[in-house]
Every structure is written in structure tokens, then in C-alpha cells.
Amino acid sequence: MNGQGFLGLPVAETAQTWLRRAADILLAGAALFLLAPLMLLITIAIWLESGQPTLFCQTRLGQGGRRFRMYKFRKFHADAGQAGCPLTLEQDPRMTQVGRLLMKTKLDELPQFWNVIKGDMAIVGPRPESLAFADCFHNGWEELLRYKPGLVGPCQIIFRNEAAAFPKGADVNEFYRTVVFPLKARIDLDYFRSRSLASDVVIMIRSFLAICGWASVASAGLRQVERRA
């Protein structure tokens, strides 16, 4: 015995990988089943306010730099397209009234449970980055691409109110590259280098609390960005 498991990984690490994948499928499947009525209501609300399509699909960077299509409920007007700023800002004129509610509650993320079922994403992982910021993965930050992107994670909790972090009048794309992205990358790497199944469960619980408005968690990212701005 050489202590090696699937793909040459240590047996313990391979077991955790399989357990996480099994848990992802179970949790995502249960969420899609239980939340189907809510997702139907959201679909109808989007359609009544601004028509089709009700889903927004965007290419994101996945594990190993592989590209995949990530799904969200559409927050912007149907004619907004994918042009313009790749970041969602406070009081963004592209956003619908339903979209503002979805952004506040994070319910626009629900279709990503399908990405989890497909294997593009995990329940817990770094947030998948848009191609507009693919150039940020250098000088050590490319290590983030070792991990499967997730629906929730430390940065999704800490930066729940990320849109409020951008200074008025600033070049938001440049500010994201030089301040926000490095800060998020450092936090994620600190976590995922030593993660465990138990810590992932804690992340899921904290994510739920942050969505429910636990201020001490939800405002932490804004405070950290302000210190570095």
C-alpha cells in the first residue's frame, strides 16, 4: 500500500473529496426540490416585471481555470445584456425592482444549485470569478483555481454587501483588482488550505445567518475594504 487514492491523492483526502461530492449532490438536490415553489414564484415575478429570459447565464472560471456557464436569476433589465461594468453596484441603474430584492436576499443565486448537481460548483468553495477579472490570477493567486468554486464560502459571507464597498467616484474595476480581489483571495486561501468537513458545515451555518442579516458577519468585508482603501 502506498497510501495513494484516486488521482494519486492521499487516501484521507480522496475520501473527503468523495464525501464532499456526495454531500453536494444530496444537499443541492434537496434544495432544488424543497425550493421549487419559491423558484417558480421568482420566475413569475421576473417575467411579469421585465419579461424573458428569467435566468442570467455567464461564463465563469472554474476549477483548474476551466470555463463553465453559471446560472442566476436575472436581476438586470432584459435589454442590459452582458456589456458594461462586470460588477453589480449599489443603486445600479440596470437593476429591476425584483432584481433589487433578489440581490438583497441572495435569492438570485438559487439556480446555482443546478451548477452543483452538474459538478461545475460545490456547496462550499471560492466564488467563481468572471472572465473580466481572469487577469487577477497571478503572483500566487492562481492557487485559488485549485479549488472547485462554491455557492457559499468565507468571502461570500464576509463580502455579502460587497456593492457597498466601492468608493464613490472610484474606478470600480481597478479598485476591485487592486483592493477587493487580493483581500478576498487571501481570505479564501487561508481557509481552503486547511479546510475540513466540520469547518465546511460551519461555513454553511454562518452563510445562512449572514443571509438572515447577522450584521457582525455581513458588514465585516466592508470594514476590511475601508481599512485598505
> Does residue 3 belong to any structural domain of this protein?
no
The domain total for the chain is 1
**Could you tell me if residue 2 is inside a domain?**
no
Residue range(s) defining the domain that contains residue 154? 8-228
For residue 154, being part of any structural domain is answered with yes
The answer to whether residue 28 sits within a structural domain is: yes
Residue 141 in any domain: the answer is: yes
- Mean pLDDT, rounded, for 73-97: 86
pTM: predicted TM-score of the whole model, two decimal places: 0.85
pLDDT given at position 6: 43
pLDDT digits (tens, 9 = 90+) for 163-192: 888 888 789 999 999 999 999 999 999 999
Average pLDDT of the segment spanning 11-22: 81
**Mean confidence (pLDDT) of the chain:** 87
Report yes or no on 110 lying in a domain.
yes
Query: Is 160 within a domain?
Result: yes
SS (HEC) of the chain: CCCECHHHCEHHHHHHHHHHHHHHHHHHHHHHHHCHHHHHHHHHHHHHHHCCCCEEEEEEECHHHCEEEEEEECCECHHHCCCCCCCCCCCCCCECHHHHHHHHHCHHHCCHHHHHHHCCCEEECCCCCEHHHHHHCCCCHHHHHHCCCEEECHHHHHCCCHHHHCCCCCCHHHHHHHHHHHHHHHHHHHHHCCCCHHHHHHHHHHHHHHHCCCHHHHCHHHHHHHHHC
